[in-house]
Chain A
Amino acid sequence: MTAAAATPIAVQRVAVDAARLPNHAFGHQSVMWWGTVGIMAIEGTAFALTVFMYFYVWTRVDAWPPDALPPELRWGTLNVAILLASVLPNYYTKRAAERYDLRGVRIGMVVCLLFGAAFIAVRALEFTTLNVSWDTNAYGSAVYLLLGLHTTHLVTDVADTAVLGTLMFTGPLDRSRFVDVSENALYWNFVVAAWLPIYAVLYLMPRWL
Protein backbone atom coordinates (compact mmCIF):
# COMPACT_ATOMS: atom_id res chain seq x y z
CA MET A 1 0.00 0.00 0.00
CA THR A 2 1.44 3.38 -0.93
CA ALA A 3 1.76 6.15 1.59
CA ALA A 4 -0.83 8.20 -0.26
CA ALA A 5 -3.47 5.47 -0.12
CA ALA A 6 -3.48 4.89 3.61
CA THR A 7 -6.91 5.25 5.10
CA PRO A 8 -7.43 8.88 5.87
CA ILE A 9 -8.77 9.05 9.37
CA ALA A 10 -10.91 12.04 8.49
CA VAL A 11 -13.29 9.84 6.56
CA GLN A 12 -14.72 8.67 9.86
CA ARG A 13 -15.99 12.20 10.26
CA VAL A 14 -19.41 12.95 8.83
CA ALA A 15 -18.99 16.11 6.81
CA VAL A 16 -22.52 16.20 5.40
CA ASP A 17 -25.78 14.58 6.47
CA ALA A 18 -27.70 14.60 3.22
CA ALA A 19 -30.82 13.08 4.76
CA ARG A 20 -31.60 16.54 6.13
CA LEU A 21 -31.58 18.03 2.62
CA PRO A 22 -34.57 18.21 0.28
CA ASN A 23 -34.64 15.83 -2.71
CA HIS A 24 -35.35 18.42 -5.39
CA ALA A 25 -34.83 22.14 -6.07
CA PHE A 26 -36.16 24.83 -8.37
CA GLY A 27 -34.27 27.23 -10.57
CA HIS A 28 -30.56 27.28 -11.15
CA GLN A 29 -29.87 25.03 -8.19
CA SER A 30 -31.50 22.17 -10.05
CA VAL A 31 -29.73 19.89 -12.46
CA MET A 32 -32.70 20.10 -14.86
CA TRP A 33 -32.29 23.86 -15.12
CA TRP A 34 -28.71 23.42 -16.31
CA GLY A 35 -29.78 20.86 -18.89
CA THR A 36 -32.50 23.18 -20.13
CA VAL A 37 -30.19 26.18 -20.25
CA GLY A 38 -27.62 24.06 -22.06
CA ILE A 39 -30.15 23.25 -24.76
CA MET A 40 -31.15 26.92 -24.91
CA ALA A 41 -27.50 27.87 -25.47
CA ILE A 42 -27.20 25.36 -28.27
CA GLU A 43 -30.41 26.31 -30.00
CA GLY A 44 -29.82 30.00 -29.41
CA THR A 45 -26.48 29.68 -31.17
CA ALA A 46 -28.19 27.84 -34.00
CA PHE A 47 -30.72 30.65 -34.34
CA ALA A 48 -28.00 33.27 -34.28
CA LEU A 49 -26.09 31.44 -36.99
CA THR A 50 -29.21 31.15 -39.13
CA VAL A 51 -29.75 34.90 -38.80
CA PHE A 52 -26.12 35.31 -39.87
CA MET A 53 -26.82 33.15 -42.90
CA TYR A 54 -29.79 35.37 -43.79
CA PHE A 55 -27.68 38.52 -43.58
CA TYR A 56 -24.80 36.89 -45.44
CA VAL A 57 -27.10 36.15 -48.35
CA TRP A 58 -28.25 39.79 -48.15
CA THR A 59 -24.67 41.01 -48.65
CA ARG A 60 -24.45 39.13 -51.92
CA VAL A 61 -27.29 41.03 -53.65
CA ASP A 62 -28.36 44.66 -54.03
CA ALA A 63 -32.15 44.60 -53.90
CA TRP A 64 -33.77 43.00 -50.87
CA PRO A 65 -35.72 40.85 -50.94
CA PRO A 66 -34.41 39.77 -54.34
CA ASP A 67 -37.16 39.04 -56.87
CA ALA A 68 -39.80 38.88 -54.17
CA LEU A 69 -42.03 40.92 -51.90
CA PRO A 70 -41.34 40.75 -48.19
CA PRO A 71 -43.49 38.29 -46.22
CA GLU A 72 -47.00 39.54 -45.40
CA LEU A 73 -47.13 41.16 -42.00
CA ARG A 74 -50.46 40.02 -40.67
CA TRP A 75 -49.91 36.45 -39.53
CA GLY A 76 -46.42 36.94 -38.21
CA THR A 77 -47.48 39.98 -36.23
CA LEU A 78 -50.51 38.14 -34.89
CA ASN A 79 -48.15 35.45 -33.69
CA VAL A 80 -46.03 38.02 -31.91
CA ALA A 81 -49.15 39.03 -30.03
CA ILE A 82 -50.18 35.45 -29.24
CA LEU A 83 -46.69 34.47 -28.11
CA LEU A 84 -46.23 37.52 -25.92
CA ALA A 85 -49.65 36.92 -24.41
CA SER A 86 -48.74 33.30 -23.73
CA VAL A 87 -46.03 34.47 -21.37
CA LEU A 88 -48.74 35.17 -18.78
CA PRO A 89 -50.26 31.69 -18.41
CA ASN A 90 -46.74 30.34 -18.70
CA TYR A 91 -45.58 32.45 -15.77
CA TYR A 92 -48.66 31.52 -13.80
CA THR A 93 -47.97 27.82 -14.39
CA LYS A 94 -44.38 28.21 -13.29
CA ARG A 95 -45.36 29.94 -10.05
CA ALA A 96 -48.04 27.33 -9.39
CA ALA A 97 -45.45 24.59 -9.82
CA GLU A 98 -43.12 26.26 -7.37
CA ARG A 99 -45.96 26.26 -4.82
CA TYR A 100 -46.70 22.57 -5.57
CA ASP A 101 -50.21 23.74 -6.54
CA LEU A 102 -51.36 20.76 -8.64
CA ARG A 103 -54.69 22.27 -9.59
CA GLY A 104 -53.05 25.52 -10.65
CA VAL A 105 -50.50 23.62 -12.71
CA ARG A 106 -53.21 21.61 -14.44
CA ILE A 107 -55.23 24.67 -15.39
CA GLY A 108 -52.14 26.58 -16.44
CA MET A 109 -50.85 23.84 -18.70
CA VAL A 110 -54.19 23.48 -20.46
CA VAL A 111 -54.25 27.22 -21.11
CA CYS A 112 -50.66 27.13 -22.36
CA LEU A 113 -51.55 24.31 -24.70
CA LEU A 114 -54.45 26.32 -26.13
CA PHE A 115 -52.06 29.17 -26.82
CA GLY A 116 -49.65 26.70 -28.38
CA ALA A 117 -52.32 25.31 -30.68
CA ALA A 118 -53.27 28.82 -31.73
CA PHE A 119 -49.67 29.68 -32.41
CA ILE A 120 -49.13 26.60 -34.54
CA ALA A 121 -52.29 27.28 -36.54
CA VAL A 122 -51.22 30.85 -37.23
CA ARG A 123 -47.72 29.63 -38.08
CA ALA A 124 -49.22 27.38 -40.75
CA LEU A 125 -50.92 30.45 -42.21
CA GLU A 126 -47.63 32.36 -42.03
CA PHE A 127 -46.01 29.79 -44.28
CA THR A 128 -48.64 30.45 -46.95
CA THR A 129 -48.02 34.19 -47.11
CA LEU A 130 -44.23 34.37 -47.30
CA ASN A 131 -44.29 35.52 -50.92
CA VAL A 132 -41.36 33.27 -51.78
CA SER A 133 -40.55 29.59 -51.92
CA TRP A 134 -37.52 27.81 -50.45
CA ASP A 135 -36.29 26.91 -53.90
CA THR A 136 -36.79 30.30 -55.54
CA ASN A 137 -33.43 31.68 -54.48
CA ALA A 138 -31.06 31.82 -51.53
CA TYR A 139 -33.23 34.47 -49.86
CA GLY A 140 -36.22 32.12 -49.97
CA SER A 141 -34.06 29.32 -48.63
CA ALA A 142 -32.91 31.47 -45.71
CA VAL A 143 -36.47 32.56 -44.90
CA TYR A 144 -37.71 28.98 -44.81
CA LEU A 145 -34.73 27.81 -42.74
CA LEU A 146 -35.22 30.52 -40.15
CA LEU A 147 -38.96 30.06 -39.91
CA GLY A 148 -38.66 26.29 -40.10
CA LEU A 149 -36.10 26.16 -37.30
CA HIS A 150 -38.35 28.20 -35.03
CA THR A 151 -41.37 26.09 -36.00
CA THR A 152 -39.51 22.93 -35.04
CA HIS A 153 -38.84 24.35 -31.60
CA LEU A 154 -42.39 25.51 -31.28
CA VAL A 155 -43.86 22.14 -32.19
CA THR A 156 -41.52 20.16 -29.96
CA ASP A 157 -42.12 22.49 -27.03
CA VAL A 158 -45.89 22.24 -27.44
CA ALA A 159 -45.52 18.46 -27.64
CA ASP A 160 -43.38 18.48 -24.48
CA THR A 161 -45.99 20.61 -22.74
CA ALA A 162 -48.74 18.23 -23.85
CA VAL A 163 -46.93 15.17 -22.52
CA LEU A 164 -46.01 16.83 -19.25
CA GLY A 165 -49.52 18.25 -18.91
CA THR A 166 -51.03 14.82 -19.40
CA LEU A 167 -48.73 13.43 -16.74
CA MET A 168 -49.89 16.08 -14.30
CA PHE A 169 -53.42 14.77 -14.77
CA THR A 170 -52.76 11.04 -14.78
CA GLY A 171 -49.79 10.72 -12.44
CA PRO A 172 -47.75 9.02 -11.07
CA LEU A 173 -46.47 12.20 -9.51
CA ASP A 174 -43.84 13.29 -7.08
CA ARG A 175 -42.39 16.71 -6.38
CA SER A 176 -39.65 16.50 -9.00
CA ARG A 177 -42.39 16.67 -11.64
CA PHE A 178 -43.13 20.20 -10.44
CA VAL A 179 -39.49 21.02 -11.22
CA ASP A 180 -40.05 19.66 -14.71
CA VAL A 181 -43.05 21.96 -15.12
CA SER A 182 -40.98 24.91 -13.99
CA GLU A 183 -38.18 24.08 -16.45
CA ASN A 184 -40.68 23.58 -19.26
CA ALA A 185 -41.96 27.08 -18.56
CA LEU A 186 -38.39 28.37 -18.78
CA TYR A 187 -37.94 26.77 -22.18
CA TRP A 188 -41.23 28.27 -23.35
CA ASN A 189 -39.83 31.70 -22.56
CA PHE A 190 -36.89 30.86 -24.78
CA VAL A 191 -39.17 29.91 -27.68
CA VAL A 192 -41.00 33.24 -27.25
CA ALA A 193 -37.80 35.24 -26.90
CA ALA A 194 -36.27 33.60 -29.96
CA TRP A 195 -39.29 34.57 -32.05
CA LEU A 196 -38.94 38.29 -31.49
CA PRO A 197 -35.60 38.82 -33.27
CA ILE A 198 -36.54 36.31 -35.96
CA TYR A 199 -39.78 38.16 -36.58
CA ALA A 200 -37.85 41.41 -36.82
CA VAL A 201 -35.37 39.91 -39.28
CA LEU A 202 -37.94 38.26 -41.51
CA TYR A 203 -40.72 40.80 -41.49
CA LEU A 204 -39.37 44.18 -40.44
CA MET A 205 -35.79 44.42 -41.77
CA PRO A 206 -36.71 44.02 -45.44
CA ARG A 207 -39.15 46.88 -45.01
CA TRP A 208 -36.95 49.17 -42.95
CA LEU A 209 -33.43 48.59 -44.28
Chain B
Amino acid sequence: MTGFAGRRGGHRRRTTRRIALTPVVFPMAAIAAPLQDALQPAGPQAGHIHALWLLMLGVCALVFVAVVAALLVALRHAPRGDVATAADTQALTRDESTVRRSVGAAIAVSVALLLLLFGATVVTDRALAQLPLTDAVHIRLTGHQWWWEATYDDPEPANVFATANELHVPVGRPVVLSLEASDVIHSFWVPNLHGKKDLIPGRTATIAFRADAPGVYRGQCAEFCGYQHAKMALLVIAESPQQYDQWLARSRASALPPPDATAQRGQQVFLRSTCAMCHAVGGTPANGKHAPDLTHVASRQTLAAGALRNEPAALAAWIIDPQQIKPGANMPAHALAPADLLALVAYLGTLQ
Protein backbone atom coordinates (compact mmCIF):
# COMPACT_ATOMS: atom_id res chain seq x y z
CA MET B 1 0.00 0.00 0.00
CA THR B 2 1.23 3.45 -0.78
CA GLY B 3 0.61 6.95 0.46
CA PHE B 4 0.66 8.15 3.93
CA ALA B 5 -0.60 4.93 5.43
CA GLY B 6 2.13 3.46 7.55
CA ARG B 7 4.54 1.26 5.68
CA ARG B 8 7.19 0.13 8.02
CA GLY B 9 6.42 0.55 11.68
CA GLY B 10 3.79 3.25 11.47
CA HIS B 11 4.21 6.99 11.41
CA ARG B 12 7.47 8.67 12.14
CA ARG B 13 7.37 11.67 14.37
CA ARG B 14 8.40 14.95 12.94
CA THR B 15 11.62 16.06 14.47
CA THR B 16 10.80 19.49 15.78
CA ARG B 17 12.52 21.40 18.50
CA ARG B 18 11.67 19.63 21.69
CA ILE B 19 10.30 21.76 24.51
CA ALA B 20 9.89 20.34 27.94
CA LEU B 21 6.18 20.28 28.53
CA THR B 22 3.94 18.24 30.70
CA PRO B 23 2.42 15.96 28.13
CA VAL B 24 -1.30 16.53 27.89
CA VAL B 25 -3.40 14.03 26.07
CA PHE B 26 -6.10 15.49 23.91
CA PRO B 27 -9.07 13.29 23.29
CA MET B 28 -9.44 12.73 19.56
CA ALA B 29 -11.42 10.14 17.67
CA ALA B 30 -9.38 7.22 16.41
CA ILE B 31 -8.29 8.24 12.92
CA ALA B 32 -7.08 6.18 9.97
CA ALA B 33 -3.75 7.11 8.35
CA PRO B 34 -4.20 9.57 5.46
CA LEU B 35 -4.08 8.41 1.81
CA GLN B 36 -2.67 10.48 -1.06
CA ASP B 37 -2.76 8.31 -4.15
CA ALA B 38 -4.51 8.58 -7.50
CA LEU B 39 -4.36 4.83 -7.89
CA GLN B 40 -6.69 4.19 -4.96
CA PRO B 41 -9.91 5.93 -5.91
CA ALA B 42 -12.34 6.48 -3.05
CA GLY B 43 -15.11 8.07 -5.07
CA PRO B 44 -16.69 8.06 -8.53
CA GLN B 45 -14.65 10.97 -9.97
CA ALA B 46 -11.31 9.44 -9.12
CA GLY B 47 -12.78 6.10 -10.08
CA HIS B 48 -13.67 7.18 -13.64
CA ILE B 49 -10.21 8.64 -14.08
CA HIS B 50 -8.62 5.50 -12.74
CA ALA B 51 -10.51 3.43 -15.28
CA LEU B 52 -9.28 5.66 -18.07
CA TRP B 53 -5.76 5.34 -16.69
CA LEU B 54 -5.93 1.56 -16.79
CA LEU B 55 -7.15 1.56 -20.38
CA MET B 56 -4.48 4.03 -21.49
CA LEU B 57 -1.78 2.16 -19.62
CA GLY B 58 -2.79 -1.05 -21.32
CA VAL B 59 -2.97 0.36 -24.83
CA CYS B 60 0.20 2.43 -24.50
CA ALA B 61 2.15 -0.45 -23.01
CA LEU B 62 1.12 -2.64 -25.93
CA VAL B 63 2.13 -0.01 -28.45
CA PHE B 64 5.45 0.53 -26.73
CA VAL B 65 6.24 -3.17 -26.69
CA ALA B 66 5.22 -3.46 -30.34
CA VAL B 67 7.42 -0.58 -31.47
CA VAL B 68 10.45 -1.73 -29.50
CA ALA B 69 9.92 -5.27 -30.75
CA ALA B 70 9.72 -4.05 -34.35
CA LEU B 71 12.95 -2.17 -33.85
CA LEU B 72 14.73 -5.18 -32.38
CA VAL B 73 13.43 -7.43 -35.14
CA ALA B 74 14.62 -4.92 -37.72
CA LEU B 75 18.07 -4.92 -36.16
CA ARG B 76 18.19 -8.69 -36.15
CA HIS B 77 16.78 -9.08 -39.61
CA ALA B 78 18.95 -6.58 -41.44
CA PRO B 79 22.43 -7.77 -42.37
CA ARG B 80 25.41 -6.00 -40.88
CA GLY B 81 27.51 -3.58 -42.87
CA ASP B 82 30.29 -1.10 -42.27
CA VAL B 83 31.16 2.40 -43.42
CA ALA B 84 32.69 1.04 -46.59
CA THR B 85 29.59 -0.87 -47.62
CA ALA B 86 28.20 0.58 -50.84
CA ALA B 87 25.03 2.50 -50.20
CA ASP B 88 21.78 1.18 -51.61
CA THR B 89 20.95 4.00 -54.03
CA GLN B 90 18.61 1.69 -55.93
CA ALA B 91 16.19 2.41 -53.11
CA LEU B 92 15.62 5.85 -54.63
CA THR B 93 13.93 4.37 -57.65
CA ARG B 94 13.01 0.86 -56.59
CA ASP B 95 9.37 0.01 -55.95
CA GLU B 96 9.11 -0.48 -52.17
CA SER B 97 5.39 -1.11 -52.08
CA THR B 98 5.58 -3.84 -49.43
CA VAL B 99 7.40 -1.52 -47.11
CA ARG B 100 4.95 1.24 -47.92
CA ARG B 101 2.01 -1.00 -47.12
CA SER B 102 3.56 -2.05 -43.81
CA VAL B 103 4.22 1.52 -42.79
CA GLY B 104 0.72 2.46 -43.91
CA ALA B 105 -0.76 -0.35 -41.86
CA ALA B 106 1.18 0.71 -38.80
CA ILE B 107 -0.08 4.27 -39.20
CA ALA B 108 -3.64 3.04 -39.65
CA VAL B 109 -3.44 0.96 -36.47
CA SER B 110 -2.01 3.97 -34.62
CA VAL B 111 -4.86 6.17 -35.80
CA ALA B 112 -7.40 3.55 -34.75
CA LEU B 113 -5.90 3.23 -31.30
CA LEU B 114 -5.79 7.00 -30.93
CA LEU B 115 -9.47 7.18 -31.83
CA LEU B 116 -10.17 4.54 -29.22
CA LEU B 117 -8.32 6.52 -26.59
CA PHE B 118 -9.96 9.77 -27.65
CA GLY B 119 -13.35 8.11 -27.42
CA ALA B 120 -12.57 6.78 -23.97
CA THR B 121 -11.51 10.28 -22.96
CA VAL B 122 -14.80 11.74 -24.14
CA VAL B 123 -16.72 9.05 -22.27
CA THR B 124 -14.78 9.79 -19.10
CA ASP B 125 -15.30 13.53 -19.50
CA ARG B 126 -19.04 13.00 -19.68
CA ALA B 127 -19.07 10.65 -16.74
CA LEU B 128 -17.26 13.24 -14.68
CA ALA B 129 -19.79 15.90 -15.64
CA GLN B 130 -22.69 13.68 -14.65
CA LEU B 131 -22.09 13.45 -10.92
CA PRO B 132 -25.50 13.98 -9.32
CA LEU B 133 -25.38 17.11 -7.21
CA THR B 134 -28.60 16.91 -5.23
CA ASP B 135 -28.24 17.49 -1.54
CA ALA B 136 -24.64 18.61 -1.99
CA VAL B 137 -22.46 20.07 0.68
CA HIS B 138 -21.30 23.52 -0.46
CA ILE B 139 -17.90 24.76 0.60
CA ARG B 140 -16.06 27.89 -0.46
CA LEU B 141 -12.35 27.20 -0.55
CA THR B 142 -9.91 30.11 -0.73
CA GLY B 143 -6.23 29.50 -1.31
CA HIS B 144 -3.72 31.57 0.60
CA GLN B 145 0.03 31.46 0.77
CA TRP B 146 0.31 28.71 2.35
CA TRP B 147 -2.97 27.52 3.85
CA TRP B 148 -6.53 26.68 2.88
CA GLU B 149 -9.48 28.71 4.08
CA ALA B 150 -12.79 26.85 3.97
CA THR B 151 -16.24 28.30 4.56
CA TYR B 152 -19.14 25.90 4.80
CA ASP B 153 -22.12 27.52 3.14
CA ASP B 154 -25.72 27.15 4.20
CA PRO B 155 -28.96 28.89 3.28
CA GLU B 156 -29.29 29.74 6.96
CA PRO B 157 -26.69 32.48 7.63
CA ALA B 158 -26.28 31.45 11.24
CA ASN B 159 -25.07 28.04 10.09
CA VAL B 160 -22.23 29.38 7.98
CA PHE B 161 -18.83 28.83 9.56
CA ALA B 162 -15.17 28.99 8.64
CA THR B 163 -12.39 26.52 9.20
CA ALA B 164 -8.98 25.83 7.73
CA ASN B 165 -6.87 23.07 6.22
CA GLU B 166 -9.21 20.23 7.11
CA LEU B 167 -12.55 19.44 5.48
CA HIS B 168 -15.05 16.94 6.80
CA VAL B 169 -17.46 15.50 4.26
CA PRO B 170 -20.22 12.94 4.54
CA VAL B 171 -19.73 9.65 2.75
CA GLY B 172 -22.14 9.22 -0.14
CA ARG B 173 -23.15 12.87 -0.55
CA PRO B 174 -21.73 15.11 -3.26
CA VAL B 175 -19.48 18.01 -2.26
CA VAL B 176 -19.30 21.14 -4.39
CA LEU B 177 -16.30 23.37 -3.81
CA SER B 178 -16.10 26.86 -5.20
CA LEU B 179 -12.46 27.80 -5.51
CA GLU B 180 -10.90 31.24 -5.19
CA ALA B 181 -7.44 32.55 -4.49
CA SER B 182 -6.50 35.51 -2.37
CA ASP B 183 -2.98 36.02 -3.61
CA VAL B 184 -1.35 33.79 -6.23
CA ILE B 185 -2.48 30.72 -8.16
CA HIS B 186 -2.92 27.55 -6.10
CA SER B 187 -4.38 24.18 -7.03
CA PHE B 188 -6.73 21.95 -5.08
CA TRP B 189 -5.79 18.29 -5.44
CA VAL B 190 -6.97 15.34 -3.39
CA PRO B 191 -5.95 12.46 -5.65
CA ASN B 192 -8.06 9.78 -4.01
CA LEU B 193 -11.17 11.78 -4.74
CA HIS B 194 -10.69 13.68 -8.02
CA GLY B 195 -8.27 15.45 -10.33
CA LYS B 196 -7.09 18.93 -9.58
CA LYS B 197 -8.52 22.37 -10.15
CA ASP B 198 -6.64 25.66 -10.02
CA LEU B 199 -7.53 28.50 -7.69
CA ILE B 200 -6.87 31.65 -9.71
CA PRO B 201 -7.06 35.20 -8.32
CA GLY B 202 -9.95 37.06 -9.92
CA ARG B 203 -11.79 33.90 -10.94
CA THR B 204 -14.14 31.45 -9.22
CA ALA B 205 -13.81 27.83 -10.28
CA THR B 206 -15.90 24.86 -9.23
CA ILE B 207 -15.06 21.26 -8.52
CA ALA B 208 -17.45 18.55 -7.40
CA PHE B 209 -16.70 15.13 -5.97
CA ARG B 210 -18.15 12.48 -3.73
CA ALA B 211 -16.41 10.21 -1.25
CA ASP B 212 -17.88 6.72 -1.26
CA ALA B 213 -15.55 5.22 1.30
CA PRO B 214 -14.77 6.63 4.74
CA GLY B 215 -11.18 7.63 5.32
CA VAL B 216 -8.70 10.44 5.64
CA TYR B 217 -7.61 11.72 2.24
CA ARG B 218 -4.65 14.00 1.98
CA GLY B 219 -4.31 16.66 -0.65
CA GLN B 220 -1.59 19.09 -1.50
CA CYS B 221 -1.40 22.37 -3.38
CA ALA B 222 -0.44 21.45 -6.90
CA GLU B 223 0.49 24.78 -8.43
CA PHE B 224 3.78 26.33 -7.42
CA CYS B 225 2.87 29.21 -5.14
CA GLY B 226 6.07 30.34 -3.51
CA TYR B 227 8.29 29.41 -0.58
CA GLN B 228 6.06 26.92 1.19
CA HIS B 229 4.25 25.40 -1.74
CA ALA B 230 5.68 22.07 -0.58
CA LYS B 231 3.94 22.30 2.78
CA MET B 232 0.48 23.46 1.81
CA ALA B 233 -1.49 20.31 2.45
CA LEU B 234 -5.06 19.70 3.45
CA LEU B 235 -7.04 16.75 4.76
CA VAL B 236 -10.45 15.67 3.54
CA ILE B 237 -12.01 13.44 6.17
CA ALA B 238 -14.91 11.39 4.83
CA GLU B 239 -17.10 10.03 7.59
CA SER B 240 -20.48 8.51 8.12
CA PRO B 241 -23.46 10.91 7.90
CA GLN B 242 -23.99 10.71 11.65
CA GLN B 243 -20.38 11.55 12.45
CA TYR B 244 -20.50 14.32 9.88
CA ASP B 245 -23.64 15.81 11.42
CA GLN B 246 -22.00 15.77 14.85
CA TRP B 247 -18.92 17.49 13.46
CA LEU B 248 -21.11 20.04 11.70
CA ALA B 249 -22.99 20.87 14.89
CA ARG B 250 -19.76 21.27 16.87
CA SER B 251 -18.24 23.42 14.13
CA ARG B 252 -21.19 25.74 13.94
CA ALA B 253 -21.00 26.43 17.64
CA SER B 254 -18.79 29.13 19.01
CA ALA B 255 -15.90 28.26 21.27
CA LEU B 256 -16.82 27.47 24.86
CA PRO B 257 -15.35 29.73 27.52
CA PRO B 258 -12.03 28.50 28.92
CA PRO B 259 -12.76 25.85 31.60
CA ASP B 260 -9.88 26.48 34.05
CA ALA B 261 -7.42 29.10 35.19
CA THR B 262 -4.58 28.00 32.91
CA ALA B 263 -6.82 28.13 29.90
CA GLN B 264 -8.15 31.53 30.96
CA ARG B 265 -4.64 32.82 31.22
CA GLY B 266 -3.98 31.34 27.81
CA GLN B 267 -6.94 33.18 26.37
CA GLN B 268 -5.62 36.43 27.84
CA VAL B 269 -2.25 35.78 26.20
CA PHE B 270 -4.04 35.10 22.93
CA LEU B 271 -6.11 38.24 23.01
CA ARG B 272 -3.35 40.63 24.08
CA SER B 273 -0.67 39.29 21.72
CA THR B 274 -0.64 39.72 17.98
CA CYS B 275 -2.59 36.47 17.57
CA ALA B 276 -5.95 38.19 17.47
CA MET B 277 -4.81 40.50 14.67
CA CYS B 278 -4.78 37.62 12.18
CA HIS B 279 -6.71 34.74 13.72
CA ALA B 280 -10.36 34.46 14.71
CA VAL B 281 -11.92 32.47 17.56
CA GLY B 282 -15.72 32.46 17.50
CA GLY B 283 -17.29 33.85 20.66
CA THR B 284 -14.29 35.99 21.56
CA PRO B 285 -13.22 39.46 20.41
CA ALA B 286 -10.56 37.84 18.18
CA ASN B 287 -11.82 38.31 14.64
CA GLY B 288 -8.78 38.38 12.37
CA LYS B 289 -9.30 37.32 8.77
CA HIS B 290 -5.71 36.87 7.56
CA ALA B 291 -4.94 33.48 9.05
CA PRO B 292 -6.71 30.19 9.78
CA ASP B 293 -9.81 30.32 11.92
CA LEU B 294 -8.91 28.74 15.27
CA THR B 295 -12.37 28.28 16.79
CA HIS B 296 -12.01 24.48 16.64
CA VAL B 297 -8.31 24.12 16.07
CA ALA B 298 -7.89 21.40 18.68
CA SER B 299 -10.19 19.11 16.75
CA ARG B 300 -7.92 19.05 13.71
CA GLN B 301 -5.39 16.34 13.03
CA THR B 302 -2.65 18.62 11.79
CA LEU B 303 -1.32 22.13 12.14
CA ALA B 304 0.21 24.54 9.65
CA ALA B 305 -1.53 23.04 6.63
CA GLY B 306 -0.37 19.52 7.28
CA ALA B 307 3.18 20.38 8.26
CA LEU B 308 2.83 19.29 11.88
CA ARG B 309 0.91 16.76 13.93
CA ASN B 310 -1.54 18.56 16.16
CA GLU B 311 0.22 18.00 19.47
CA PRO B 312 1.16 20.41 22.23
CA ALA B 313 4.90 20.22 21.67
CA ALA B 314 4.46 20.85 17.97
CA LEU B 315 2.02 23.68 18.59
CA ALA B 316 4.38 25.32 21.04
CA ALA B 317 7.28 25.07 18.60
CA TRP B 318 5.14 26.54 15.85
CA ILE B 319 4.03 29.49 17.96
CA ILE B 320 7.55 30.30 19.15
CA ASP B 321 9.07 30.34 15.65
CA PRO B 322 7.11 29.30 12.57
CA GLN B 323 10.14 30.03 10.41
CA GLN B 324 11.88 26.95 11.76
CA ILE B 325 9.14 24.75 10.39
CA LYS B 326 7.92 26.69 7.36
CA PRO B 327 10.56 29.25 6.44
CA GLY B 328 8.86 32.08 4.61
CA ALA B 329 5.49 31.58 6.26
CA ASN B 330 3.59 34.78 6.95
CA MET B 331 3.26 34.13 10.70
CA PRO B 332 5.81 35.98 12.82
CA ALA B 333 7.82 34.55 15.68
CA HIS B 334 6.64 35.16 19.25
CA ALA B 335 8.83 35.62 22.27
CA LEU B 336 6.65 34.35 25.10
CA ALA B 337 7.49 33.54 28.67
CA PRO B 338 7.35 29.77 29.20
CA ALA B 339 4.39 29.99 31.54
CA ASP B 340 2.49 32.11 29.05
CA LEU B 341 3.33 29.69 26.27
CA LEU B 342 2.12 26.71 28.26
CA ALA B 343 -1.09 28.51 29.10
CA LEU B 344 -1.64 29.51 25.49
CA VAL B 345 -1.12 25.97 24.28
CA ALA B 346 -3.48 24.70 26.97
CA TYR B 347 -6.11 27.26 25.93
CA LEU B 348 -5.83 26.34 22.28
CA GLY B 349 -6.18 22.74 23.34
CA THR B 350 -9.64 23.51 24.68
CA LEU B 351 -10.86 24.77 21.30
CA GLN B 352 -12.42 21.48 20.22
Contacts and interface: CB of A to CB of B under 8 A. Distances in A.
Interface of A: 2-4
Nearest to B202: A60
A3 to B, nearest CB: 6
Interface string B80-110: 0001101100000000000000000000000
A51 B87 CA distance: 54
B252 to A, nearest CB: 37
State which size class the interface on B falls in.
under 10
A8 to B, nearest CB: 14
A3 B83 CA distance: 9
A2 B83 CA distance: 8
Contacts of B87: 4
Nearest 6 CB-CB pairings of A with B:
A2-B84, A3-B86, A2-B83, A3-B84, A4-B87, A4-B86
Contacts of A2: 83-84
A31 B84 CA distance: 39
A113 to B, nearest CB: 47
Dominant SS at the A interface? helix
Nearest to A1: B84
B194 to A, nearest CB: 28
Nearest to A4: B87
Contacts of A4: 86-87
Contacts of B86: 3-4
B85 to A, nearest CB: 9
A3 B87 CA distance: 10
6 contacts: A2-B83, A2-B84, A3-B84, A3-B86, A4-B86, A4-B87
B73 to A, nearest CB: 28
A53 to B, nearest CB: 16
A4 B85 CA distance: 9
A2 B87 CA distance: 11
A41 B86 CA distance: 45
A84 to B, nearest CB: 41
Contacts of B84: 2-3
A3 B86 CA distance: 7
A177 to B, nearest CB: 45
A88 B84 CA distance: 64
A161 to B, nearest CB: 45
